[in-house]
Amino acid sequence: MGEEVHIVTRQESFNDFAVRELAQSKAACMCRVQFKRCKSNNCISCYRHSRVVNCESVMSDYDLERLRHYTSVYYTEYSSNPMAWMSHKEYKRYYARFMFFIILFIVLIGLLPLIMIGPFDSVSNSIDYNKAIINTIQAAQSQVYDVDKDNKINCVDYAIVFKLVWDQKYPRLKDECTIIRNKNWLTDMNHLFICVHNVYVEPATYDPYNYTMESVWGDRYDPTCNKYGETRYWLSEVKE
């Protein structure tokens, strides 16, 4: 006798559609904050954020798990195109940097004969941020100490020491390195870390080559909960 093969298909339910749509909204909000179209303190009065919070409060554990998964998928997709989420001001900065490197390239081509004769290190101020971050993590971890004298070494100490080392290594790029706080009661996250050139860095990472907050903390890290503008306060915590 021949065997019959039955193929069962499942149509997407309204609940499936709603979870995906909510995940898209949440991922979009994360990108808006990360690439500075929005400020984190705008979330309180934002209808998008209110909708996400209200929906999450009535979702089952199963749907919340699916929401976290879909949000991660959409965030990975959306964040691969930062320009789509930049504010007009940030876009102008990005465009200005782009034009700077174009002009710099033209200047270097014109100076190439002279450069081959003698070094002109001051011509270019650009650096490899990835290499700079790795080097700073390694240096900070090798000399981290109880900065605020609370008798423990934790994220506060790692973040502050990273900032101090960065400022010492790259004094012209002080403004590119800031201390960020993330407090999220939903994931029990209360953490201090670093932002360098729009990259969120975990200075206490076990692997200096794998340092982004997203890769170290996964779904537990929600960038919409980031608190900005506290760098000066945390540096004031340094005790002699």
Instruction: Could you list the beta-strand ranges (E) of the chain.
Output: 177-184, 189-196, 199-201, 226-227
Q: What is the pLDDT of residue 201?
A: 96
Q: pLDDT tens digits for 149-186?
A: 999 999 999 999 999 999 999 999 999 999 999 999 98
pLDDT of 229 higher than 90: yes
Segment holding 206, helix H or strand E: none
Boundaries of every domain in the chain: 14-84, 127-240
The three-class DSSP label of residue 197 is: coil
Q: What is the pLDDT of residue 38?
A: 74
Cα 26 to its chain centre, rounded Å, is 15
Whole-number percent of the chain with pLDDT over 70: 78
Between CA 217 and CA 232 the distance in angstroms is 25
